[in-house]
């Protein structure tokens, strides 16, 4: 089943990798949807499988 809503999140007070690590510690996991190493986002899913992205910060 596809998500009905997809969130893109940009952390304000930490780096992208720090925010990814934080949400992974809360139960999120990385998802491969065909993104490349050149993409500026990381795709994750919550424990129920709902996908969301953590975007690179404006200063990164």
Report the alpha-carbon distance of residue 39 to residue 32 in Å, rounded. Answer: 12
Report the alpha-carbon distance of residue 36 to residue 5 in Å, rounded. Answer: 22
| Residue-level pLDDT at 37 | 85
| Residue-level pLDDT at 30 | 96
| Residue-level pLDDT at 28 | 97
In a domain, 60, yes or no: no
CATH number at residue 26: 3.10.180.10
Which residue segment(s) compose the domain that 47 sits in? 7-55
Total-model pTM? 0.82
In a domain, 1, yes or no: no
| Residue-level pLDDT at 6 | 86
Give the chain's domain count. 1
Give the pLDDT of the chain (60 residues) as one tens digit per residue: 667 788 899 977 778 999 999 999 999 999 999 998 889 899 999 999 999 999 987 765
């Amino acid at each position: 089943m596809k998500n009905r809503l997809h969130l893109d999140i940009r952390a304000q007070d930490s780096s992208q990798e720090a925010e990814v690590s934080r949400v992974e510690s809360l139960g999120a996991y990385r998802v491969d949807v065909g993104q490349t190493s050149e993409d500026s986002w990381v795709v994750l899913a919550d424990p129920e499988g709902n996908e969301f992205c953590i975007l690179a910060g404006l200063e990164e």
